[in-house]
Amino acid sequence: MNRLLPALLVPLALALAQQQLLLRQPPRLLALTPSAASSGPAGLELRFSRPMDRASVAAASRIDPPVAARWLATGSDLKLTLNPGVRLDRPLQLGLAGQDRRGQALAASRWLWDPRPRILAVVPVPGGEQLQLRQHNGRWQPLSPVWPRVVSLEPLGDGSGVAVVSQDRRSDGPPQQQIWMIPLQQRNLARVPQGLSAPQAGPPRALGGGGHLFAHLSSNRFGDLLIQSGGQAPGSARTLLWPRRASGPTPLTLEASGPMRLLPQGGAAVVPIPEGLSLQDLPPRPARQQLLPGSRDLSSFCPRAGRALLVRHWPDYRRSVELVEPGQAPRQLWIGAQAVLATSCQGNGERFWIALLHGIQRPELTVLALNRQGTILARRSLRDWELEPGTPLSFDATSNQLLLVLRRWVQPSTGSGAAPPQAMVLEATTLALRPVHKQARLALWLPP
């Protein structure tokens, strides 16, 4: 017993000494990453080696140029969120400092952070179409080879790549489609003096075999990719989930009556079925689904989790736009006889935008801005413009702008050819229209 006691006390004493040594060491920043969802234009998540005094971190840290921001959460995981309404026209410099709860000072560090997205566009070029990226300085950077036609594209939600569907030209049958992945390396957050850099694109990689008659793409904030595709042969339709860090795809046995969409926060997909819209969990979660009955289409997601805009079709041929929020019945924001071409949503549903089309002889394009109560805050008639078919209306909170693709309306009786489509931006508050000065058939924001 006398020999056993020292043998037990020595490890205990070493553990206590090690614990005291660690407590005396200053806290360390273990990770600094962009936040996937934020109530403001952008946010950062910070993980420290020990619980921090949030008030001390907020008081000692600096943002240059100064912008309104909030420090949230407690413990060793904090969150920095830019306040709603903040607009950015340059990268931010962040100086981190502060103390932990024991009064130990954090080693100061300086970071460059640029949360602004860039514009991805399908641009007509000699020989076909090409995917190009617009830098913040206005320069356009080619990302892909020239394909005969680009049918669709889907930026991965984490900004690590772009999935593209190209289409060949055939004279002996229907066009064939091929799915590609273009990897991207972005550096939008870096320690000073390392600095930021423009995205670098890798060579396109074919996903699966070609020969598709159709292919639909969807991604979530984690960079997972959902692919629905099908060929001419019976039973060739299939649905694959490509997880961001997996070596290969996972086949899914989901039956859908139209294109499926991954939930931005991951773990599930919105699946259209004849009875309505079904929310179905994805592997490795147990199979489970929720049904929203009625003739509805998913139009767009809101940045905050669980919120989306739906277009409902009524028996008298009217359409309505509805807001869906967790635990609540769909709330009607707008109803009318016009065709709903596209929608977009800000934050957790504070403001919405709807692109409408009315008329037959001379169709008129109108964009509305509404609040949560459905009150129209602004209206812009784009009588001389058409929204390029199949293009979205997407919102960037860092610039308070909507991105869309328009072409000049041409009277069919004039016999003149169709005007080329152009990438345009709308100021989200006033709906003032501004050209990007680039011909493009499709344009989307690339997540930073």
Domains delineated in the chain? 23-113 (2.60.40.1220)
Residue bearing the bigger pLDDT, 263 or 248: 263
The residue with tokens 């008329």 is 359
- Residues 167-183 pLDDT 10s: 987 767 778 999 999 99
pLDDT above 70 coverage of the chain, percent: 92
- Residues 252-276 pLDDT 10s: 999 899 999 999 999 999 999 999 9
Which pLDDT belongs to residue 5?
58
| The pLDDT of residue 444 is above 60 | yes
Residue bearing the bigger pLDDT, 10 or 148: 148
> Which of 61, 64, 71 shows the shortest CA–CA distance to 40?
71
Q: What is the DSSP letter of 249?
A: -
CB 144 within 8 A of CB 182: yes
Which pLDDT belongs to residue 13?
52
Q: Which amino acid is at 413?
A: S
196, burial (CB in 10 Å: exposed 0-12, middle 13-18, buried 19+): middle
- Could you give the C-alpha distances from 285 to 16, 127, 253, 288, 384, in angstroms and in order? 42, 46, 14, 8, 49
**CA angle centred on 405, ends 402 and 409, rounded to 5°:** 125
| The pLDDT of residue 50 is above 50 | yes
Q: What is the mean pLDDT of residues 50-57?
A: 96
103, burial (CB in 10 Å: exposed 0-12, middle 13-18, buried 19+): exposed
**Calculated CA dihedral for residues 403, 388, 174, 255, nearest 10 degrees:** 60
For the chain, give the mean pLDDT. 91
d(C-alpha 118, C-alpha 134), whole Å: 6
In DSSP terms, which residues pair with 122 in a beta bridge?
131, 442
Establish how many alpha carbons lie within 13 A of residue 53's alpha carbon, considering only the half-sphere containing its beta carbon: 15
Quickly count: other Cβ atoms within 10 Å of residue 193's Cβ.
7
Which pLDDT belongs to residue 169?
78
> Which of 405, 406, 421, 433 shows the shortest CA–CA distance to 119?
405
Confidence of residue 250 (pLDDT cuts 50, 70, 90): very high
**CA angle centred on 91, ends 89 and 95, rounded to 5°:** 135
| The pLDDT of residue 10 is above 60 | no
| The pLDDT of residue 82 is above 50 | yes
Task: Please report the sign of the dihedral spanned by the C-alpha atoms of residue 387, residue 413, residue 417, residue 410.
Answer: negative
Confidence of residue 422 (pLDDT cuts 50, 70, 90): very high
3-state helix, strand, coil in the chain (%, to 5): 5, 50, 45
Which pLDDT belongs to residue 2?
57
Buried b or exposed e, range 351-385, using 16+ CB within 10 angstroms? bbbbbbeeeeeeebbbbbbbeeeeeeebebebeeb
Which pLDDT belongs to residue 11?
60
145-154, 197-206, 320-329, 356-365: lowest mean pLDDT where?
Answer: 356-365
Output the six-digit token pair for 136: 């913040």
Confidence of residue 17 (pLDDT cuts 50, 70, 90): very low
Confidence of residue 23 (pLDDT cuts 50, 70, 90): low
> Which of 207, 209, 195, 193 shows the shortest CA–CA distance to 241?
207
Q: Is the preceding omega at residue 326 within 30 degrees of 0, hence cis? A: no
Instruction: Give the three-class secondary structure for 299.
Output: strand
- Could you give the C-alpha distances from 247 to 207, 219, 282, 283, in angstroms and in order? 12, 17, 18, 16
For residue 344, what are the contacts with CB-CB under 8 A and spacing of at least 6? 300, 309, 352, 353, 392, 393, 394, 395, 402
| The pLDDT of residue 290 is above 60 | yes
Q: Which amino acid is at 282?
A: L
Beta strands in 372-432 (DSSP E): 376-382, 385-387, 394-396, 401-408, 422-427
Residue bearing the bigger pLDDT, 303 or 260: 260
Could you tell me how many helices (H) and strands (E) the chain has, helices first? 2, 38
